[in-house]
Amino acid sequence: MSGVADVIAQRKVDGSGALVGYLPVGFPDLPTSIQAAIALVDSGVDVLELGLPYSDPVMDGTVIQKATQAALANGFTLAHGLEAVAAITSRVDAPVLVMTYWNPVMQYGIDRFADDLLAAGGAGLITPDLVADEAGLWLVASDRTDLDRVFLAAPSSTDTRLRQAVEKSRGFVYAVSTMGITGARGDVDSAARTLVARLRDAGATSTCVGLGISTAEQVREVLEYADGAIVGSALVTALSEGGVAAVARTAAALAAGTRVA
């Protein structure tokens, strides 16, 4: 079992589930993004998801796109992402996953990236545009380095694609609760329940739900049927509007949804 899966399993044993918090590296600047990520863990986030800014973020909503574009405009590079991972893992015990589109990893060099991420203390990758049956080179590199690999599953995924995601993922399977791009919504799509059930039928033992979760009540609702709740846009908005203090308060409020009454 991976470090990420261990954390999620322990939270289930504790009677709830895990809170996964996303922030982009380099927004509003690199030092602040590092402090914000540390603040998430200090405020109750169980697993960190650090996004690497990319010029063509097809899955990201407006809030995250604006933040990542600002980071790129400030000169963000992949080396900065690895620097941030190393700085954060030296300060917190929570596992740190990197969310990245696949092209930057290919440009950097798959084996080189795996080695450098491992050296920085990273736990693995979430790859939204890389499907399990096309990930052969990453499967080899991640097996060699024992890094986690988190593949996505959507309501539109076929049963075959779901089985592939379950078989090849390590850490958890990322269940996309709604069709489309990221962003906070008033209601978490009921399709998430059906998708998680289908993943369970396919053999998943660790499934986290993301896209659209923005309140403690939604976190609590998701943890009724999933192993973890992933929050991104709500945290990025807090950081944008109120800095590290605001993102810490938001994370603490969201973490309340993981507590057993």
Q: Which two tokens stand for residue 117?
A: 């991420």
Q: Which amino acid is at 261?
A: A
Q: Which amino acid is at 260?
A: V
Tokens 């962003």, located at residue: 183
Name the residues annotated as catalytic: 49, 60
Q: How many CB atoms lie within 10 A of CB 86?
A: 17
Tokens 């008033």, located at residue: 186
The answer to whether 149 and 135 have CB atoms below 8 angstroms apart is yes
Backbone angles phi, psi at 8, to 5 degrees: -65, -45
Q: Which two tokens stand for residue 9?
A: 């399993």
